[in-house]
């Protein structure tokens, strides 16, 4: 990178259509710093509430099938609190054995539940670290942010 | 220059609050963060102003502050998601970004795009996020004003809701701020599907053992609490009186608490505010149970009342 032109500082949401996803900014080539946050204090403090992609998927599938925590826990022969942890906690420690069982009961594969790859552009490795959270933003949002940044950038150049 | 250290976010927020008090008087809430952001550089003689404040419909996104160099002149833009339903959250986000601008913009270029720095970057990033949050909460809800707004002794959800409106923040943000300074024993619990996501106690509550450790093991919402009842009361702002032991088994039998409950169907979250009377010093009960000696007499006689 040559002269860096832009720096970014970020706040991320936890509530929303999607479950609190850690996320952030842009692949535009002129940024040099991004600060990410998981959840604004406004909502949930630092006692971080960050579900994993695994948790989000399990919860979504469970809801779609109209199952309560109790019901799915019983079906998958696991405890209710363990299932709650899987759905709601980043620190949850999923075992293959249990995830397979849950997957089976939800009619999906364990691989589907555990695979949290994001589709997206290939960016340089160095950028990946910074941008991996940004990449979790919905694509249209990413595009929009880039557009806005581009406009501002152009405006600056035109001005002078 | 920005003062360094953990007090810096508070000091900076208070500095702005004093200015706003002078220029706007007491009827200055909610804080107009956009105006503040735009005028800050001029007010304090910085040559890299926040030149743009832009709201856009950006699903999944909250806010960002970024700088552009235009022919050698640095300018900043504050970008936020204007489609978030609650204006309180937008205000908080904007104040948070303003906090980054005031507190951290000089540090911006210390970050290198390398894997090796990532860990350090993350912890540094987290610290800065926390500082921006503190700044935002003090800017939007100055404690002295908050104290005056709730001069009444019996705080309830109605009163706190009034504060949230006064400051234009979410109810959660207002309650968390109140918990920072209240002399009352109070605990806020956020839960989903029967377990606590997080909990926060006021200092007096913490000292009396009224708190929950929610980080590691899922803590279930206790049976018999209002939070655990499936009644579809959307708002329970009046609260109900319950035996304190339902939530806190170590409380004396005769101790009661007031539980308030708000349910968000959309996010399947239940917010519970628990307000307890002052902790009853153990010696008072000993004293009442056993004899009529005053504490003074206990002390003078060097006879320490025992804990039950």
- pLDDT tens for B131-171 read 888 999 999 999 999 999 887 667 888 899 999 999 999 99
Nearest to B108 among A7, A130, A157 (CB): A7
A94 or B250, greater pLDDT: B250
pLDDT of residue A118: 40
Quickly count: other Cβ atoms within 10 Å of residue A33's Cβ: 25
pLDDT of residue B160: 93
Q: How far apart are CA B198 and CA A90, in angstroms?
A: 13
The radius of gyration of chain B from alpha carbons, rounded to an integer in Å, stands at: 23
Q: What is the 3-state secondary structure (H, E, C) of chain B?
A: CCCCCCCHHHHHHHHHHHHHHHHHCCCCCCCCHHHHHHHHHHHHCCCCCEEEEEEECCCCEEEEEEEEEECCEEEEEEEEECCCCCHHHHHHHHHHHHHHHHHHHHHHHHCCCCHHHHHHHHHHHHHHHHHHHHHHHHHHCCHHHHHHHCCCCCCCHHHHHHHHHHHCCCHHHHHHHHHHHCCCEEEEEEEECCEEEEEEECHHHHHCCCCCCCCCCCCECCCCCCCCCCCCCCEEEEEEEEEHHHCCCCCCCCCEEEEEEEEECCCCEEEEEEEECCCCCHHHHHHHHHCCCCHHHHHHCCCCCCCC
* pLDDT bracket for residue B70 (50, 70, 90): confident
Of B24-33, B70-79, B86-95, B234-243, least confident by mean pLDDT is B234-243
Q: With CB atoms and an 8 Å threshold, state whether B68 touches A37.
A: no
Pull the structure tokens for residue A41.
Answer: 């204090």
Is the per-residue pLDDT at B39 higher than 70? yes
CA atoms A74, A79, A80, A84: torsion sign = negative
Contact list, B48 vs chain A (CB under 8 Å): none
CA atoms B138, B141, B145, B147: torsion sign = negative
B133 close contact with A: CB closer than 8 A: yes
Phi–psi pair at B197, nearest 5 degrees: -80, -45
Of A27-41, A73-87, B41-55, B204-218, least confident by mean pLDDT is A27-41
| Mean pLDDT, rounded, for B270-295 | 66
Is the per-residue pLDDT at B268 higher than 80? yes
* Helices B118-140/B8-24 angle, 10° precision: 30
Is the per-residue pLDDT at A122 higher than 50? no
For residue B242, give how far its alpha carbon lies from the nearest alpha carbon of chain A (Å): 26
Contact list, B108 vs chain A (CB under 8 Å): 7, 9, 32-33
What confidence tens digit (pLDDT) does each residue in A22-79 have?
333 332 223 323 333 323 333 333 334 567 889 989 999 999 999 999 999 999 999 9
Q: How far apart are CA A74 and CA A68, in angstroms?
A: 10
pTM of model > 0.90? no
Q: How far apart are CA B287 and CA A94, in angstroms?
A: 53
B73 or B6, greater pLDDT: B73
Pairing of strands B256-264, B73-81: unpaired
Q: How far apart are CA B49 and CA A131, in angstroms?
A: 26
Edge-to-edge strand order for the sheet containing B235-243?
B195-201, B185-192, B269-276, B256-264, B235-243
Is the per-residue pLDDT at B233 higher than 80? no
DSSP 3-state percent helix, strand, coil across chain A (nearest 5): 50, 5, 45
Question: Which of B79, B83, B94 shows the shortest CA–CA distance to A16?
Answer: B83
In this predicted complex, what is the ipTM? Answer: 0.72
pLDDT of residue A151: 77
Contact list, A137 vs chain B (CB under 8 Å): 60-61
| Mean pLDDT, rounded, for B95-123 | 63
What confidence tens digit (pLDDT) does each residue in A90-101 have?
767 788 999 999
Q: How far apart are CA B79 and CA B66, in angstroms?
A: 8
* pLDDT bracket for residue B7 (50, 70, 90): confident
* pLDDT bracket for residue B183 (50, 70, 90): very high
| Stretch 234-263 of chain B: residues touching chain A, C-beta under 8 Å | none
Q: With CB atoms and an 8 Å threshold, state whether A89 touches B218.
A: yes
| Stretch 15-74 of chain B: residues touching chain A, C-beta under 8 Å | 52, 54, 56-71
pLDDT of residue B232: 58
Is the per-residue pLDDT at B1 higher than 60? no
Tell me the helices (H) and strands (E) count for chain A, helix number first: 8, 2
């Amino acid at each position: 990178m040559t002269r860096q032109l832009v720096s970014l500082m970020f706040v991320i949401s936890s509530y929303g259509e999607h479950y609190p996803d850690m996320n952030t900014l842009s692949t535009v080539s002129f940024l040099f710093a991004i600060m990410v946050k998981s959840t604004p204090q406004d909502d949930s403090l630092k006692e971080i509430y960050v579900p994993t992609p695994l948790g989000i998927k399990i919860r979504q599938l469970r809801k779609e099938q109209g199952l309560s925590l109790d019901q799915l826990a019983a079906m998958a022969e696991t405890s209710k609190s363990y299932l709650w942890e899987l759905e709601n906690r980043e620190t949850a420690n999923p075992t293959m054995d249990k995830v397979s069982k849950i997957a089976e009961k939800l009619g999906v594969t364990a691989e589907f539940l555990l695979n949290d790859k994001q589709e997206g552009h290939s960016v340089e490795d160095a950028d990946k670290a910074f941008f991996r959270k940004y990449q979790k933003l919905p694509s249209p949002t990413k595009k929009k942010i880039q557009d806005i940044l581009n406009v501002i950038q152009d405006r600056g150049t035109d001005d002078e | 220059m920005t003062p360094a250290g953990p007090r810096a976010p508070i000091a900076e927020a208070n500095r702005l609050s004093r200015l706003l008090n002078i220029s706007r008087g007491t009827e200055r809430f909610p804080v107009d963060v956009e105006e503040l952001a735009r005028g800050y550089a001029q007010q304090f003689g910085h040559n890299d102003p926040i030149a743009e404040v832009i709201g856009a419909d950006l699903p999944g996104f909250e806010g960002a502050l970024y700088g552009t160099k235009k022919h050698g002149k640095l300018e900043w833009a504050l970008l936020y998601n204007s489609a978030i339903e609650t204006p309180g959250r937008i205000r908080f986000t904007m104040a948070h970004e303003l906090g980054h601008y005031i507190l951290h913009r000089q540090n911006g270029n210390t970050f290198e795009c390398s894997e090796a720095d990532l860990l350090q970057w993350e912890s540094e990033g987290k610290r800065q996020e926390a500082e921006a949050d503190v700044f935002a909460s003090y800017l939007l809800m100055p404690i002295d004003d908050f104290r005056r707004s709730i001069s009444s002794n019996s705080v309830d959800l109605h009163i706190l809701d009034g504060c949230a409106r006064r400051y234009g923040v979410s109810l959660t943000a207002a309650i968390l701020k109140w918990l920072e300074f209240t002399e009352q024993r109070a605990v806020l619990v956020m839960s989903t599907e029967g377990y606590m996501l997080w909990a926060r106690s006021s200092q007096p509550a913490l000292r009396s053992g009224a708190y929950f450790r929610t980080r590691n093991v899922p803590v279930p919402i206790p049976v018999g609490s209002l939070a655990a009842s499936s009644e579809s009361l959307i708002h329970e702002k009046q609260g109900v009186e319950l035996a304190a032991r339902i939530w806190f088994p170590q409380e004396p039998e005769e101790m009661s608490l007031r539980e308030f409950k708000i349910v968000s169907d959309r996010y399947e979250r239940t917010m519970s505010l628990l307000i307890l009377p002052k902790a009853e010093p153990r010696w008072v009960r000993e004293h009442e149970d056993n004899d009529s000696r005053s504490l003074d007499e206990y002390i003078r006689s060097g006879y320490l009342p025992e804990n039950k």
